[in-house]
Structure 1
Amino acid sequence: MPTSTSKSIDSPRKGRPSPPDRVKLSRVGEDAHGSLVRTALEGGGVNLGYCSVIDGVPTGHAVVMLQPDGQNSIIIVGGANTTGWPDVLPDEDLGFIKSAGIVLLQREVPDSVNIQVAKAARSGGVPVILDAGGVDSPVPEELLSSVDVFSPNETELGRLTGLPTENFGQISRAVLKLHEKGVKQVLVKLGAKGSALFVQGQEPIKQPIVSAQKVIDTTGAGDTFTAAFAVALVEGKSKAECLRFAAAAASLCVQVKGAIPSMPDRQSVIKLLKSL
């Protein structure tokens, strides 16, 4: 699915038109995983009018191997996420994207799809955030130059730039390499060290973690962080406020086992922020 949505922090744009019948901006397979995904999304209030069911391929999913300390390793099964996309997305699809409040992309769909979506969004004045997760390969410069915010974790940042990222100075130098490729804003997730937003020509904005009572499962924490940042951004919060909102959401996420169940609702995030 080219965009990412969660029940917790989703903020639908008011007045958005219903999608034409043929507009299909996400896809699942006709299998048990697809049913589970659709049920979970419907339970979270996500509009599935944009979703198509693809015959003969599995639903895109991830196999998570959880370690005792809450860290994880993930094997991605592309399935419907990578299969059957047209070379050129229909104008109706791309036109509808321009009505979004914000577009959040990740790399479990083909880069060619992300490039078209990002360009359509940008042409409509819609902010675009690209999470680096999803595939271990270089990001096309055409894609990097078409997004407003690129969000890797420190490991992905090092892998994509070929530079060390063991300390903040090294991270800053790696981010500079991305700036040179046309990315003006880089949102780096630093795990237990928090996060930082690098805006070209400005001092980085640092955000420490919001401490969790107990880390049970880190699966989905990065996705939760980036999604929460996107929601706060589209709602007009300052960049520092966006980082803080995202850190609170990620803190709640790691305290619950499982990717979908761990994504917190808005009330829980606000309650945690008020308690800090």
Structure 2
Amino acid sequence: MKFYVIGDVTVDHLYHLDHLPRPGEEVTPLRSSMKPGGAGGTISVTLARLGHTVTLAARVGSDPFAEYAMSQVRLSGVGMGAIQQDERHLTSTITVMQTEHGERTMISDGAANRQLDPAKLKKKDIEASDALIVNAYSLIEGPQREYSLQAIEYARAAKRAVPVFIDLGTGAVNKARTSLLDDVIGADYLSLNQHELQALTGTGSISAALAKLGQAGAQRVVVKVGKMGSITWTPTETELVDAVLPEGDVVDSTGAGDTFTATFAHAVLGGLSMAQAAKAANAAGALAATSVGAQERPITAADLADVLPKAKK
């Protein structure tokens, strides 16, 4: 399958702490690391490792971080034809501080990613794809927003169906709130977590939020609900898909949601039902969290075969 992915590539600075610092407090991390990350990069790497042909549309600076941010993308064989370089803006970075109790706070700089030039988008590349995946950070601001909206329009207008997967992100939803709804409601598949779902819809419960999405015209939604697994929704059916416990300890949740999204798209295009695809995605997201770094733990067809023996590569 051919995937076209629009999203950020970043350098992630990860700090695992006993507790999150209070204003003015200096703390020493239990451990720290620097890893390549970003939703676009992680989704692309996951799909490429699962055997797909992937083109990633992202933008990096001309600084020393650029090559590191792209290191796993290159190593995984992701197509580089839509990668842009920015001479003025730095490669995006994210600082993540998290505790073993699941508390997390982040400092995110969109930087070069937000400058993704829509003039370089090629309609034929979207039309030639089997699916388009857009991370919602790409829909927030700057030229990157115009690029993403145009790509979605190309996919919808294509003579051969190009399904659109849109994955939300907490920072994107917190910034745009309910105004993001109009941009994402037309997706063939919309994935998001419980906080993002309720913030996007301005509601106080999952059931009310899904009802509002249905009223707005949503067709297929998958909600990540942490240790409970995920929920798949269509206008006629709602199903809770149980979590799949990983082999190994959960040490870092960074990028687990992006791994979930990539695996879900992989399974859907492989012919599985939404519930089956969500089960595979639950397993992949959990496995990703057993290593430090968004792209550190490869997800393979063998991993998914343990959960879904009939899953297609």
Q: CA deviation at 1:273?
A: 4.9
Distance in 2 between the 1:127 and 1:65 partners?
Answer: 35
Distance in 2 between the 1:251 and 1:208 partners?
Answer: 12
What letter corresponds to residue 252 of structure 2 in structure 1? D
Consecutive unaligned residues in structure 1, runs of 5 or more = 166-170
Distance in 1 between the 2:240 and 2:234 partners?
Answer: 11
Which range moved further: 67-76 or 176-185? Answer: 67-76
**CA 1:180/1:114 → structure 2, altered by over 3 Å: closer, same or farther?**
farther
2:93 and 2:109 in contact (8 A); partners too: yes
2:268 and 2:277 in contact (8 A); partners too: yes
SS at match of 1:163: coil
- 2:64 counterpart residue number: 32
1:249 and 1:263 in contact (8 A); partners too: no
What letter corresponds to residue 96 of structure 1 in structure 2? D
**CA 1:174/1:145 → structure 2, altered by over 3 Å: closer, same or farther?**
closer
Query: Percent identity between the aligned chains?
Result: 28
SS at match of 1:233: helix
SS at match of 1:109: helix
Q: CA deviation at 1:30?
A: 1.2
What letter corresponds to residue 292 of structure 2 in structure 1? K
Q: CA deviation at 1:6?
A: 3.6
Cα deviations by residue, 1:112-144 (Å, 9 ceiling, x for unpaired): 332221121122211111111151213444422
How many residues are paired up? 257
The one of 130, 134, 138 aligned to 2:166: 130
- 1:208 counterpart residue number: 242
Distance in 2 between the 1:126 and 1:193 partners?
Answer: 31
1:9 and 1:227 in contact (8 A); partners too: yes
Consecutive unaligned residues in structure 2, runs of 5 or more = 8-39, 140-144
Q: Structure 1 residue 267 and structure 2 residue 302: aligned?
A: yes
**CA 1:84/1:271 → structure 2, altered by over 3 Å: closer, same or farther?**
closer
The one of 190, 196, 199 aligned to 1:159: 199
SS at match of 2:190: strand
- 2:232 counterpart residue number: 197
Q: CA deviation at 1:52?
A: 1.4
Q: CA deviation at 1:109?
A: 2.0
- 1:168 counterpart residue number: none
**CA 1:142/1:119 → structure 2, altered by over 3 Å: closer, same or farther?**
farther
2:185 and 2:213 in contact (8 A); partners too: no
SS at match of 1:184: coil
Q: CA deviation at 1:209?
A: 0.7
SS at match of 2:122: helix
Which range moved further: 24-33 or 102-111? Answer: 24-33
- 2:222 counterpart residue number: 187
Q: Structure 1 residue 2 and structure 2 residue 36: aligned?
A: no
Q: CA deviation at 1:84?
A: 5.2
2:279 and 2:307 in contact (8 A); partners too: no
TM superposition score normalised by structure 1: 0.84
- 1:54 counterpart residue number: 86
1:26 and 1:52 in contact (8 A); partners too: yes
Which range moved further: 258-267 or 122-131? Answer: 258-267
**CA 1:227/1:8 → structure 2, altered by over 3 Å: closer, same or farther?**
closer
Identify the structure with the greater strand proportion.
Answer: 2
Give 1:1-276 correspondences, 5 Å limit: 2-3=6-7, 4=40, 5-10=43-48, 11-12=51-52, 25-83=57-115, 85-86=117-118, 89=119, 93-110=122-139, 111-124=145-158, 125-133=161-169, 134-135=171-172, 136=174, 137-138=176-177, 139-165=179-205, 171-200=206-235, 202-212=236-246, 213-271=248-306, 273=308
SS at match of 1:214: coil
TM superposition score normalised by structure 2: 0.75
Distance in 2 between the 1:70 and 1:84 partners?
Answer: 33
Q: CA deviation at 1:180?
A: 1.8
